[in-house]
Structure 1
Amino acid sequence: MPQVLIEGRQLRLRDWLPEDLSAYREWLKPHHEWNLWDGPYFPPHTEQEADAAVGRIKEQLDSGEWPGVRRRLVIADASTNHLIGTVSWHWESEATAWPRAGITVFDPAVRGRGIGTEALALWADYLFSLTTFRRLDFSTWSGNLAMCGVGLKLGWTEEARFRDARVVRGAIYDSVVYGVTRAQWEGLHLHSDSQSANY
């Protein structure tokens, strides 16, 4: 099966490599700063959960068996190829073919450079190109201004706001969902960051 490699300006989205595993396992430790922003209302990974997540990726690397449409790709720095985050998707409702995207930027050294915006744009291009998805969305919380900004910069619509729904470090925030339809995404002309793509 061909390897997925999508080249952007600052980053690339790509399949996992064996050298990613130790870095990924390190980033899953709860003391890293990204845990303060990415779903901080959920409990952090336990040691067992983190080991299991890395083990599943290792099994796929060893077998070479990957789904035709990837469920998760590495966000890698364009110059070093080092893992700095991941993009993913899961079914919010498989019965109605409703997917939900996810994005995590682990490395605080690259924040504030538009990495999240570029990664989500490339990921949306990939998913809309290879699937019949009618829509994509992502959920976040109102205190994560950077992630809310990603949705706004890409022209996605704030589709839901559940007021006073999340408690983070003793403060109350809204839960927010940003979404885009296939037709809306195709008409935005904002998703041209891909320099080359192999998938």
Structure 2
Amino acid sequence: MTIFSLWEDSPLTVIKGKNVILRPLKESDIPILYRYIYGKEHTEWKKYDAPYYPLEPMSLEAFASAMEKHLRKKEPPGRMIIEHLGEAIGTVNYYWEDESTRWLEAGIVIYPSRFWSRGLGTEALALWIDYLFQHLEIARVGLTTWSGNPRMIRAAEKLGMKMEGRLRKCRYYQGVYYDSIRMGILREEWEEAKKELPFFQNRSASR
């Protein structure tokens, strides 16, 4: 089971994994995320995170205003920071594709490429899926990606997600057509899958 605990300055849940922590967004995170997203140092992530949608320029002030809703104290938060060894390295989020039918989609991004291919994203996504199933009355967690992001597909498959749909050649990037990929996992499938995942072995839960 995931270990749940609280930050001293926040009434919201913090999810502690073996190598990553998912925690609420703080005001001090906003300039860090802004540099990741709009700065020139970390640009590799955008090649894999829906690059067919142009990243529109935004001022820090406008970005802070857009992120303000995630600073509000609510449970579950729509977005959380992924932290590794005290450093904010990315985010997880969820959104309603159709809230009236409880159709929920999850997302994840790790910005600095030096943290890729180390299992951190897979662990963060596992903790996030588990958290969503524990806190929301949903039957399924979905994830949408594209065929140009094989790391995302592999991470989802490692967690037991199934490919539920493949829309062929509906994404176009740098002169090449790609497929849109729909993946998902049901609550009962997750309960079985997590028994085999190392992130949940020998764990206890407390609030």
TM-score by shorter chain over 0.5: yes
1:60–1:176 CA distance, 2 compared to 1 (3 A): closer
Equivalence for 1:70: 77
Matched residues in 2 for 1:147 and 1:30: separation? 23
User: Among 150, 159, 164, which residue is 2:164 paired with?
Assistant: 159
Aligned residues: 193
Matched residues in 1 for 2:63 and 2:31: separation? 12
Equivalence for 1:109: 114
Residue segments in structure 1 that go unaligned for 5+ positions in a row: none
Secondary structure, counterpart of 2:11 in structure 1: coil
User: Is 1:3 paired with 2:12?
Assistant: yes
Matched residues in 2 for 1:87 and 1:60: separation? 12
User: Among 24, 28, 44, which residue is 1:33 paired with?
Assistant: 44
Residue segments in structure 2 that go unaligned for 5+ positions in a row: 1-9
1:107, CA displacement in angstroms? 1.1
Matched residues in 2 for 1:151 and 1:184: separation? 13
**One-letter amino acid of the structure 2 residue matched with residue 14 of structure 1:** R
Query: What pairs up with 1:78-117 in 2 under 5 angstroms?
Result: 79=85, 81-117=86-122
Report if aligned partners of 2:83, 2:90 keep a CA contact under 8 Å in 1: yes
Per-residue deviation, residues 57-115 of structure 1 (Å, max 9, x unmatched): 45764xxx3221110000011x2x21100000001111211000010111111001011
Matched residues in 1 for 2:123 and 2:50: separation? 21
Equivalence for 1:13: 22
Moved more, 143-152 or 21-30: 21-30
Q: TM-score, normalised by structure 2?
A: 0.85
Q: TM-score, normalised by structure 1?
A: 0.88
User: Is 1:43 paired with 2:54?
Assistant: yes
Equivalence for 2:199: 193
Matched residues in 1 for 2:27 and 2:181: separation? 35
1:192, CA displacement in angstroms? 5.2
Secondary structure, counterpart of 2:199 in structure 1: coil
Percent identity reads: 34
Per-residue deviation, residues 144-188 of structure 1 (Å, max 9, x unmatched): 110011111111100000011111221111110110001110111
1:88–1:196 CA distance, 2 compared to 1 (3 A): farther
